[in-house]
Amino acid sequence: MTTPIAYFLVVSAALFTIGTVGVMVRRNALVIFMSVELQLNGVNLALVAFSRLHGNLTGQVLTFFSMVVAAAEVVVGLAIIVYVFRRRRTANVDDLAVLRW
């Protein structure tokens, strides 16, 4: 008895939406970062679900890539956030709006 694909997709969509809203409304860079991770995981879940549905490993392989890239991105991103915090004593992205017209 397999779980219907819809369940997975609902969870996946919920994760992605929570992540997107988080990116849009939160101000702390760390939280925005975590929200981005939620989005990624939502997508990963969808990939794995479809992979199982179709009996095709491509989606799972892609998920591994996505996780590796996400890990690498976190390393770089966190380093930047830590460095910015040290310099500016803040992690609020609204205060970091210097690259503008």
Partner 1 sequence: MTEAVWLVPALPLLGFVVNLFAGRRLGRAAGWLGTLAVGAAAAIAVAVGLDVLAQPAEERTTVVHLFDWIRAGAFTVNVDLRVDQLSVLMILVVTVVGALIHLYAIGYMEGDPRFGRFFAYLNLFVFFMLLLVLAENLLVLYVGWEGVGLCSYLLIGFWFERTAAANAAKKAFVTTRIGDTFMLVGIALVFLRLGSLDLSTVLDPAIEGVQPSGVFTVIALLLFGGAIGKSAQVPLHVWLPDAMEGPTPVSALIHAATMVTAGVYLVVRTHLFFEISGVALIVVLVVGLVTALYAALSALGQDDIKRVLAYSTVSQLGFMFMAAGMRAYSVAMFMLAAHACYKALLFLSAGSVMHGTHDETDLKRMGGLRRRMPWTAGVAVLGALSLAGVFGLAGYFAKDEILVVASETGRTAVWLLGTLGALLSALYIGRLVFLTFLGDARSAEAEHAHESPTVMLVPLVVLAVGAVGLGVLMLDPDTGLVPTFLEPVLGAVPHGSAGVGSAALIVISQVVALGGLGVTWLAYASGRVDWLALRLRAAPLQRFLSQGMHVDDVYASVVVAPAKAGSAFLAYVVDARLVDGIVNAVGRLVQGLAGVGRRVQTGLVRTYALAFLVGALALLVYVGVRA
Asked if 76 touches partner 1 (CB under 8 A), the answer is: no
Please name which of 63, 39, 65, 42 lies closest in space to residue 52, comparing C-alpha atoms: 63
Q: How many residues does the chain have?
A: 101
Residue 49 touches partner 1, criterion: CB under 8 A = no
Residue position matching structure tokens 């009996």: 55
Q: Does 101 bind partner 1 (CB under 8 A)?
A: yes
Rank residues 89 and 100 by Cβ distance to partner 1 and give the closer one: 100
Nearer CB in complex with partner 1: 57/79: 79
Cβ-based neighbours of 3, under 8 Å, separated by 6 or more: none
Contacting range for partner 1; rule: CB under 8 A; set: 42-50, 64-72, 76-84, 92-100: 92-100
Of 22 and 41, nearer to partner 1 (C-beta) is 22
Size, binding site for partner 1 by CB under 8 A: 12
Q: Rounded distance, CA 20 to CA 12, Å?
A: 12
SS3 5: helix
For partner 1, the binding residues (CB under 8 A) are 20, 23-24, 32, 93-94, 96-101
